[in-house]
Amino acid sequence: MNLADSLETGENQVAGPGANVQARRLDEAIVEIVSDSGEGAQKAGQIFGMISAKMGNGVWTVEIIPAEIKPPARSREGASGIRIRFGSQYITNMGDEADLVVAFNEQVLFGRIANGAFKPGTVVLLENKWREAQVPAVAEQYQAAVQSFREQGLIVHELPMEAACLELTPNPRVGKNMFVLGMLCFIFSREVERAYQEVRQIFAKKDAKVIASNEALIRAGYDFAREHLELCFEVPSEPRSQAMLVTNGNQALGLGVMASGMELLAMYPITPATAASHYLAGAFRKVGGFVHQAEDEIAAIGFAIGASYAGKTACTITSGPGLALKTEFIGLAVMTEIPLVICVVQRGGPSTGLPTKVEQGDLLAALYGEPGDAPKAIMAAATIEECLHFVVTARRLAEAFRTPVILLTDANLATGVQPYPRPQLSADWLAPPIDQSAWQEGVPPYDWDATTGISPRPIPGQAGGEYVLTGLAHTFKSKVAYDPESNQRGCDMRSRKLAALQSTLKPPQVNGDPEGDLLIVGWGSTLGSIEEAVGKARAQGHKVSSVHLRFLSPLEPGLKEIFSRFKNVLTVEINYSDRPEVPLMTPETRRYAQLAWLLRAHTLVDIDCWSSVQGQPIQPGAIHAEIVRRLQGEVLCSA
């Protein structure tokens, strides 16, 4: 039962916090806090999400970030905040419309309404000080907005939150977020003591007065909600036996870098990848690692390649424009078989594009960005947990196959926060000490195995292994060679490694029945939304399944066989594709979404795609609607 329905029917009532309060039981809830930038909505939401995770709920939080650092106050585009989806079960995505939103002014709500964040029945807790604003235009704006919200079916509660805070702090702009946190703790039956604990941890290095003041605001918000609102819900959780971590995707990448045994991150600031480097900048040295902030994106990867060449496999983390700048060096790393991990936190493109927003637009650039043939391993994390584990895998693959590995994540994973099982660390994850023993006499620097293309690599310091790495075409002895056979041979051997890697992979698991009317294929951060939508459609009797790819180069084996068992195959992606119904579009001119391009070429299956580039995660409701639309025959699929 969702929040709006529970308010309608009054069912599922259970005893709530405090003797006289009845709480309504929910399976899950989606809450937003939106404000002008700088009012602390994100901090309050992060704490709320953390409390929920610690109480054993499934949680997904996603930040609502304006493009500018200080957008004008009370502007629709300036909406800044956070969404927290939490429930009794594991939560894998941001969900659809919010159940409840706390807004610090009415204008930022318009920004969220434009993004489809709410539905009729969504409860709005709105700061009401603007009703009495001294500037008449502001008061008029506010009243018109409230009327408009109610006409749209939103349940608006106008609340004097700021006035209540003023009793405790002279500057409510700084403290109101904690008051709101307290309100939410009451509304959703969170243990308020847990909120105090979080505040004490966050402000551990500050004055005791700061902590006391924040605790007082939380308590005041809690009491305020109890006294003024008849809203009280419970989202039960199962106690967990397993130890869990709660991080966002960028922190998970950072943890992965450390757990992989890599010792060097060379980076240049770029949104949204930089937060991973920020995290490592503080943490890496504690485990013996170093973050090098290079003078530019090119130098960052060059530095990492230098360290890798010298035996210390290194990592660079970037986003689209940085990936473009690194292209020439990636080609060199492929050509000279340097192990290297390149994490790409994708954002909207092309060019500067949408720096803070999500897109899966770098797949083909990662695959084919370099001039000439540059085969390399490419993986994509589908969950925040995978952001951690895939870095560990990437380092090992890079060394085993003597190749750069690109790990794709995106802005949705980067800022999403989710609990996941704490990994059991192992010394096997760490890189072994570099080999400085004498190089075996007579073994050339590229002693390619004719079947796999794999060869051992001399590390500087190994006597007898002295060779000159070159980006020029070269023989197995690393001698510059312009003859036809040598270049063909080198290209063959480098490509052969991908075939060897593929031979070690298993076919992907199908979510749902192994055959049916429609197969959804996805990659990256859309996993949770796709599986939720497919699950809902299957529960309604639709014969739909999904498959999610983790390896994009080489592709996982068995895809064609899996596809052949479905009447239609559709990729769902957050990147550009031509819609078939637009002017001038023919099957010959239509440009497909990136994974669809790739799969069509690899399997010769007539795969369709459904994608968009609106800078937002694809929500389960939208995917579900598309599944139903296709399966009800509204779309005559090409197959």
Partner 1 sequence: MFGLKADWSLEVPPRYYTLEDYAGGEARWCPGCGDHGVLNAVQRICRDEQIPPEKVVAVSGIGCSSRFPHYMGTYGFHGLHGRALPVACGIKSRRPDLHVWVATGDGDCFSIGAGHWIHAVRYNMDMTLVVFDNNVYGLTKNQTSPTSRQGLRTNTHPFGALLPPHNPLTVTLGITNVSFVAQTVDWHPAHLYATLRAAFDHKGFSFVRVLQRCPQYTGQVFEDLQKDPAKLLLLTHNDGIHLEESSLKLFPTRHNHDPSSMSGAHAIAAAVEPVPVGLLFRDPARPRYETLSSEGLDMATDAKLAALERTFDQFAV
The residues of the shown chain that bind partner 1, judged by CB under 8 A, are: 50, 53-54, 243-247, 251, 255, 258-259, 261, 263-264, 266, 283, 285-290, 292, 294-296, 298-312, 314, 328-329, 332, 419, 422-423, 425, 427, 430, 458, 460-472, 479-480
| Closer to partner 1 by Cβ: residue 138 or 414 | 414
Residues 338, 339, 344, CA angle at the centre, nearest 5°?
110
Task: Read off the tokens for 364.
Answer: 């083909």
Which one, 108 or 185, has the nearer CB to partner 1? 185
Cβ 383 to partner 1 shortest distance, Å: 15
In the complex, the smallest distance separating the C-beta of residue 65 from partner 1, rounded to whole angstroms, is: 22
**CB-nearer residue toward partner 1: 182 or 289:** 289
User: Shortest Cβ distance from residue 466 to partner 1 (Å)?
Assistant: 5
Residues 6+ apart with CB under 8 A from 160: 128, 129
Q: How far is the CB of 463 from partner 1 (least distance, A)?
A: 4
CB of 202 to partner 1, least distance (A): 12
Give the span between the Cα atoms of 161 and 173, in whole angstroms. Answer: 11
Least distance (Å) from partner 1 to the CB of residue 204? 12
Other C-beta atoms lying within 10 Å of the C-beta of residue 336:
21
Q: How far is the CB of 306 from partner 1 (least distance, A)?
A: 2
Find the shortest distance in angstroms from Cβ 410 to partner 1. 21
CA distance 178 to 199: 9
Q: Which is nearer to partner 1, 287 or 601 (CB)?
A: 287
Short-list 213, 137, 157, CA closest to 182: 213
CB 618 within 8 A of CB 115: no
DSSP letter at 240 equals: P
Q: Of 303 and 523, which has the nearer Cβ to partner 1?
A: 303
Buried/exposed code over 38-72 (b: 16+ C-beta within 10 A; e: otherwise):
ebbbbbbbbbbbbbbbbbebbbbbbbbbbeeeebe
User: In terms of C-beta density within 10 A (0-12 exposed, 13-18 middle, 19 or more buried), how is residue 276 classed?
Assistant: buried
Segment holding 486, helix H or strand E: helix 484-502
- What are the CA-CA distances from residue 105 to residues 141, 444, 563 (Å)? 11, 69, 50
Q: Which C-beta is closer to partner 1: that of 102 or that of 258? A: 258
SS3 630: helix
Closest approach of Cβ 370 to partner 1, in Å? 12
H/E stretch holding 226 reads helix 208-228
For partner 1, give the closer residue by CB, 133 or 430: 430
The string of DSSP letters for 385-412 reads HHHHHHHHHHHHHHHHTTSEEEEEEEHH
User: For residues 170 and 432, which CB has a smaller minimum distance to partner 1 in the complex?
Assistant: 432
By C-beta, is 91 or 559 nearer to partner 1? 91
How, if at all, do strands 510-511 and 264-267 pair? unpaired
